[in-house]
């Protein structure tokens, strides 16, 4: 995700810094502006539309950036959910294995007691 933002910030700085130094004057400003665009917080009227008035084909940068970062965020969320489910399943499997082991040990102890009684 950081690589996507860094690459986007470098491209945005190169493309838009001359006309919009407030938003894209440096890598740091571009990173902040792109984060604002990714979160869709006043991105349209605040940043993208003014840029598109000067650079009509700027949508060719912003739309793929929004799609890629949104896809990355969704993938991170899905990964977190899958990881949580895997951990929960592992815990259940461990508990089931422990219960089975305890049951087998109990049965072995009973068999051992019976064998001791038979030997006496």
Element holding 86 (H helix, E strand): helix 59-119
List, in order of start, the domains of the chain with CATH numbers: 2-91 (1.10.287.70)
Q: State both tokens at 27.
A: 């890598």
| Chain CA centroid to CA 49, Å | 29
For every one of its 120 residues, what pLDDT tens digit does the chain have, with 9 covering 90 and above? 899 999 999 999 999 999 999 999 999 999 999 999 998 887 888 899 999 999 999 999 999 999 999 999 999 999 999 999 998 888 887 887 888 888 889 999 999 888 888 877
| pLDDT given at position 29 | 95
């Amino acid at each position: 995700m950081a690589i996507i933002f860094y690459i986007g910030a470098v491209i945005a700085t190169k493309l838009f810094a001359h006309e919009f130094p407030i938003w894209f004057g440096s890598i740091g400003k571009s990173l902040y502006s792109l984060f604002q665009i990714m979160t869709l917080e006043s991105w349209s009227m605040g940043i993208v539309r003014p840029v598109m008035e000067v650079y009509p084909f700027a949508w060719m940068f912003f739309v793929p950036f929004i799609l890629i970062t949104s896809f990355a965020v969704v993938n991170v969320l899905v990964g977190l959910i899958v990881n949580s489910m895997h951990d929960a399943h592992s815990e259940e499997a461990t508990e089931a294995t422990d219960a089975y082991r305890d049951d087998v040990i109990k049965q072995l102890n009973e068999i051992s007691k019976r064998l001791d009684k038979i030997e006496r």
